[in-house]
Amino acid sequence: MSRTEPAASTTAVTTADLAPLVRPGAVAIIGASADPTRIGGRPIAYMLRAGFKGAILPVNPNRAEVQGLACYPSVAALPQVPDVAVIAVPGAAALQAVEELGARGTRFAVMFTAGYAEVDEAGAAAQGALVAAARRHRMRLLGPNCLGLFNAAAGFYPIFSASLEGGLPLPGRIGIASQSGAYGTHLFAACRARGIGTAMLVTTGNEADLSVADAIGWMTRDDDLDVIMAYVEGVQDGPAFAGALAAARRAGKPVIMMKVGRSAVGSAAAQSHTASIAGNDAIFSAVLAEHGAIRARSTEELIDIAYAATRRIYPVPNTLGVITISGGAGVLISDAAEAAGLPMPPMPEEAQARLKAILPIAAPRNPVDCTAQAFNDLSLIGRFTESMIADGGYSSILAFFTQIGGAPSMAPAIRAQLNAVKARHPDRLYALSVLAPEERNREYEADGYLLYEDPARAVVALDAMGRLGASFSAPDPAEVPAGEPVRLPETNPSEAEAKRLLAAAGIAAVPEAVCADAEAAVAAAGSFGFPVVMKILSPDILHKTEIGGVLLDVSDAEAVRRGHATLLERAARHAPGARIEGVLVARQVRGAVECIMGIQRDPVFGPVAMVGLGGVFVEVMRDVVFRRCPFGEDVAEAMIRSIKAAPLLTGARGRPPCDVAALARMLSRLSVFAVAAGPRLASIDLNPVFALPEGAFAADAVIEVGEAG
């Protein structure tokens, strides 16, 4: 599989226009079957059932008629040019079909055929031939090895999943973009089982041409869809993927994603399953966060959040008001809200007093507990909820009514109470936790309430609506000016050379001098003041500490002389052939917080910056933050403040606060440098970076240069 070198800029990426693919006038089925349970028969059966309005053109040399439709012996014999062709024939016949369809001007092929890159090298070569043929004819391919797609509004079902047997999708405005056919149809079926409509499903299989990014990008532009669910194992074209997410954010359409392969064993399984590049999971999460896409932790969470998003209410700021008939459930919900980070501010004191006056045993703080007394006087529900919105100002309301909400004697009155409030405040999100029979649930949903049996799941979904709102309303990040062009040397630069390159980009190092001999070192140390740090300087010795090439706490002139001799002796012993450029003498910084910054080139997303606190925080606690390059100082500062140990930088334990602004400037400049350095930059390590009350300085710098891009 070929990898695209990621573009070094944030320029918008345009994904494919899929309108002719999802709403064709005519579709051919190459390998059409009279048996509606065969791969080549299912699409025809489903489209007939769904009332597809376009022409269905079966192709099969052995039949004159298929499922009641005229059947054609070949592509050449077709009475019209199909906009889309489903290819359900094996191997060589599939390639021939692509050639013939392409020659006639068909624009899209949906390739069910398997046995390509997902199997072996020979399959990968055959896949390459398919793609080459399609490109020659400007035809786009979905698949191969894909399950197909559907567009419910058009009755268009070029898909062979058995899950459609159980029923067509319910009406709705959710689209599903999935690399896995089985998982994509599982999502559709799970939504149907919960009464949630899914208007479109696109499964992308091997992604020889069209990718999940194209599917997301198209769904962003399709006016029939409001919400996008996605399933991803790995991404090949990072910029296209990020571009699709960015477009969705700009369009105000939430992307809720299941990205598998978090775990080591999961990554191994993903590689055995598809030909995807699993990528670094933390980097993937950072890309999603950058664009406000939501990463679901489970399939249920994915559906819960997408379902909430169908209301198209994304509150900013989001605060949660809870009304409950059980104090215990109120506490449980409060715990869940804190875990999710969803604020539950208390009701105003005066409003609490008014509710107490209505019902002395109420607990009106928030959660607002109207107690079992609500069973005797259901008007309490309306009056309390009204006060929560009018006085408490909550943007999201969660009501815990459990079985009472389903009781035939209570439910109609509860609906009336809530509906009166909702009519006055239609801009709020309302979720109910009730245990009710199916038909009663449908009534609540028809009224516009979100239903979650488990209130903790409601909290997660409501919180996601606020996060989406914040993302949709955030300004686009400021354009980051391109850096000065960087000329990387042919081979890995020495520490001093690396620091010179970085200094030219405004990234400061600790004051230091390159010293050719011992006396120069003594003079430099004298000018900085003791103690100093001494390091061996060689382009051939990247990891100096490993050979004892760094001396700390060098406290006087005599120690500098001894240190100089020691460093040369160690270099000669452990790295005999290394070119020695001298010894580096630097001021020893005290009282700094040690940080680490770095760049790594991700094969999918290009240069990615990392920042964390040094030492144990990185190595033991894995407390680091990633972000694609480049980015500005505001983003850099937010990254730094999101480190768990950030309080150490901002004055914890009675320390003076560090200069976070200087640290952020350095990080942003590093990200610009990484892009300006181009694809030959393999990695940068600034470790440690000293964060001081004034300023931040790199104490060491390693730049690794890779093959020419």
When asked if residue 645 is in the footprint of its own copies (CB under 8 A), the reply is yes
Judged by CB under 8 A, the residue of 16, 196, 230, 329 near its own copies is 329
Pick 8 or 270: Cβ nearer its own copies: 270
Contact 602, 626 (CB under 8 A): no
When asked if residue 372 is in the footprint of its own copies (CB under 8 A), the reply is yes
**Interface of this chain with its own copies, residues 537 to 576, rule: CB under 8 A:** none
Contact 291, 246 (CB under 8 A): yes
User: With the CA atoms of 65, 70, 76 and 79 taken in that order, what torsion angle do they form, in degrees rounded to the nearest 10?
Assistant: 170
H or E segment and range at residue 628: strand 624-628
Contact 659, 671 (CB under 8 A): no
Structure tokens at 459: 């909290």
Q: Of the ranges 3-11, 161-169, 493-501, 662-670, which one interacts with its own copies (CB under 8 A)?
A: 161-169
Contact 80, 24 (CB under 8 A): no
Per rule CB under 8 A, count of chain residues that contact its own copies: 80
Burial level of 289, CB count in 10 A (0-12/13-18/19+)? middle
Judged by CB under 8 A, the residue of 282, 363, 416, 557 near its own copies is 363
Structure tokens at 493: 């630069």
User: Least separation, in Å, of the C-beta of 120 and its own copies?
Assistant: 10
509 pairs with which residues across the strands?
A: 698
Judged by CB under 8 A, the residue of 35, 65, 377, 453 near its own copies is 453
Q: Of the ranges 64-72, 366-374, 529-537, 598-606, which one interacts with its own copies (CB under 8 A)?
A: 366-374
Pick 306 or 407: Cβ nearer its own copies: 407
Cα–Cα distance for residue pair 177/666, rounded to 1 Å:
38
Residue 164 is classified by DSSP as G
Judged by CB under 8 A, the residue of 64, 193, 420, 516 near its own copies is 193
Burial level of 146, CB count in 10 A (0-12/13-18/19+)? buried
- Between CA 387 and CA 397, with CA 393 as vertex, the angle to 5 degrees is 75
CA 664 to chain CA centroid, nearest Å: 23
Cα–Cα distance for residue pair 681/492, rounded to 1 Å:
10
When asked if residue 375 is in the footprint of its own copies (CB under 8 A), the reply is yes
Cα atoms in the 13 Å half-sphere on the side-chain side of 150? 29
When asked if residue 641 is in the footprint of its own copies (CB under 8 A), the reply is no
User: Least separation, in Å, of the C-beta of 274 and its own copies?
Assistant: 7
Judged by CB under 8 A, the residue of 72, 157, 183, 673 near its own copies is 183
The DSSP result for 316-358, as a single string, is SS--EEEEES-HHHHHHHHHHHHHHT---PPPPHHHHHHHHHH
Residue at token pair 């815990």: 400
Pick 524 or 658: Cβ nearer its own copies: 658
Please report the sign of the dihedral spanned by the C-alpha atoms of residue 623, residue 628, residue 630, residue 632.
Answer: negative
User: Least separation, in Å, of the C-beta of 188 and its own copies?
Assistant: 9
Pick 179 or 395: Cβ nearer its own copies: 179
- Between CA 412 and CA 420, with CA 417 as vertex, the angle to 5 degrees is 120
Pick 193 or 572: Cβ nearer its own copies: 193
When asked if residue 336 is in the footprint of its own copies (CB under 8 A), the reply is yes
User: Least separation, in Å, of the C-beta of 495 and its own copies?
Assistant: 21
User: Least separation, in Å, of the C-beta of 107 and its own copies?
Assistant: 28
Amino acid occupying residue 582: G
Pick 375 or 530: Cβ nearer its own copies: 375
User: Least separation, in Å, of the C-beta of 277 and its own copies?
Assistant: 14
Q: Of the ranges 163-171, 219-227, 379-387, 414-422, which one interacts with its own copies (CB under 8 A)?
A: 163-171
Cα–Cα distance for residue pair 135/96, rounded to 1 Å:
14
Pick 39 or 488: Cβ nearer its own copies: 39
**Interface of this chain with its own copies, residues 271 to 290, rule: CB under 8 A:** 272-274
Q: Of the ranges 100-108, 182-190, 533-541, 693-701, which one interacts with its own copies (CB under 8 A)?
A: 182-190
Judged by CB under 8 A, the residue of 163, 396, 471, 588 near its own copies is 163
Contact 27, 82 (CB under 8 A): yes
Cα–Cα distance for residue pair 502/522, rounded to 1 Å:
26
**Interface of this chain with its own copies, residues 86 to 125, rule: CB under 8 A:** 119
When asked if residue 334 is in the footprint of its own copies (CB under 8 A), the reply is yes
User: Least separation, in Å, of the C-beta of 441 and its own copies?
Assistant: 11
Pick 327 or 511: Cβ nearer its own copies: 327
**Interface of this chain with its own copies, residues 385 to 444, rule: CB under 8 A:** 402-404, 406-407, 435
**Interface of this chain with its own copies, residues 573 to 612, rule: CB under 8 A:** none
User: Least separation, in Å, of the C-beta of 372 and its own copies?
Assistant: 7
Q: Of the ranges 181-189, 242-250, 531-539, 604-612, which one interacts with its own copies (CB under 8 A)?
A: 181-189
Amino acid occupying residue 254: P
**Interface of this chain with its own copies, residues 294 to 323, rule: CB under 8 A:** 297-300
Pick 454 or 484: Cβ nearer its own copies: 454
Pick 319 or 494: Cβ nearer its own copies: 319
Structure tokens at 562: 């001894």
Judged by CB under 8 A, the residue of 196, 240, 257, 325 near its own copies is 325
When asked if residue 338 is in the footprint of its own copies (CB under 8 A), the reply is yes
Cα–Cα distance for residue pair 159/148, rounded to 1 Å:
4
**Interface of this chain with its own copies, residues 653 to 682, rule: CB under 8 A:** 653
User: Least separation, in Å, of the C-beta of 84 and its own copies?
Assistant: 23
Pick 489 or 615: Cβ nearer its own copies: 615
Counting other chains too, the contacts that 35-40 makes at CB distance below 8 Å and 24 or more residues apart are 36/67, 37/162, 39/88, 39/112, 39/160, 40/86, 40/88, 40/89
User: With the CA atoms of 183, 39, 109 and 151 taken in that order, what torsion angle do they form, in degrees rounded to the nearest 10?
Assistant: -60
Give alpha helix (H) positions in 137-237. 181-193, 212-221
User: Least separation, in Å, of the C-beta of 211 and its own copies?
Assistant: 15
Pick 104 or 262: Cβ nearer its own copies: 262
Cα–Cα distance for residue pair 102/76, rounded to 1 Å:
11
Judged by CB under 8 A, the residue of 448, 477, 603, 615 near its own copies is 615
User: Least separation, in Å, of the C-beta of 424 and its own copies?
Assistant: 27
> Pattern 54-73, binding to its own copies, x per CB under 8 A?
--------------------
Q: Give me the helix-helix angle, 327-340 and 455-473, nearest 10°.
A: 40
Judged by CB under 8 A, the residue of 182, 357, 482, 572 near its own copies is 182
Pick 311 or 644: Cβ nearer its own copies: 644
For residue 59, give the nearest of 91, 37, 22, 84 by alpha carbon: 84
When asked if residue 339 is in the footprint of its own copies (CB under 8 A), the reply is yes
**Interface of this chain with its own copies, residues 215 to 274, rule: CB under 8 A:** 231, 233, 258, 260-270, 272-274
